[in-house]
Amino acid sequence: MIYIAYMATDTLRASQHEAGIMCRDSLFRAAGIKTEFAKKEGGRPYALCGGADFSVTHSNRLAACALITDIEIKAWGEKDIKLITLPFSGTEVGLDAEFIDSDADTARLSRVYERFFATAVSSAEEFFSLWTRREAFGKLCGDGVLCKRSDSGCKYESFTVDLCSGSYRLCVCFR
């Protein structure tokens, strides 16, 4: 199963980071997984216990964490943190979220995307969908958005969540 916990936060980077950790810790607690966390050589965090992987993200006023595990979360008691359950399995997960700026200049977004990936985009929706997909895969690998590895064997699920601060495009990559 893939569980995604998300919550509203303020725009200060330290607050976003703290909220992401709160989401992570809530997921592990709800799954009954007691663990410590460490970082791989490239900086990607991981759980020292076996059988669970996670990915934390934040954007604007949203913080989120995805947990992939075969342990079922049966009860969710967090009042300020929302939970999404996706019926997928695997051993690795990457998650990205981006604030959907409906006023964004499509030409500017296309230039940004083209600068990094040599391909233009035709709409803000296409930009946010492609960007979150690339970043979710980069987080899964630990290489970031410019990851050049093959995503063969990876699966993706994208969706939008709404908070009082606006809409966010989320993408989870898993294998």
Q: What is the mean pLDDT of each run of 10 residues along the chain (175 residues)?
A: 97 95 97 93 86 94 97 93 96 96 88 88 91 94 81 94 92 97
**3-class secondary-structure state, position 108:** helix
For residue 7, the model assigns a pLDDT of 97
For residue 159, the model assigns a pLDDT of 95
- Torsion angle of the four alpha carbons 43, 128, 4, 65, in this order, in degrees rounded to the nearest 10: 30
Q: How far is CA 63 from CA 43, 48, 158, in A?
A: 19, 23, 16
Distance CA 94, CA 66 (A): 7
Is 6 within 8 Å of 64 (Cβ atoms)? yes
Name every residue whose Cβ is closer than 8 Å to that of residue 27 and which is 6 or more positions away in sequence: 3, 5, 54, 65, 67, 73
Distance CA 104, CA 161 (A): 18
Residue 52 belongs to domain spanning: 2-174
Q: How far is CA 49 from CA 88, 94, 105, 142, in A?
A: 20, 18, 44, 18
Q: How far is CA 172 from CA 34, 36, 94, 165, in A?
A: 24, 23, 6, 21
Q: How many domains does the chain have?
A: 1
Predicted TM-score (pTM) of this structure: 0.92
Tokens describing residue 106: 């499509």
What's phi and psi for 72, nearest 5 deg?
Answer: -85, 130
- Order across the sheet with 52-59: list the strands: 52-59, 62-69, 2-8, 82-86
For residue 71, the model assigns a pLDDT of 94
Q: How far is CA 8 from CA 23, 61, 74, 78, in A?
A: 11, 6, 23, 13
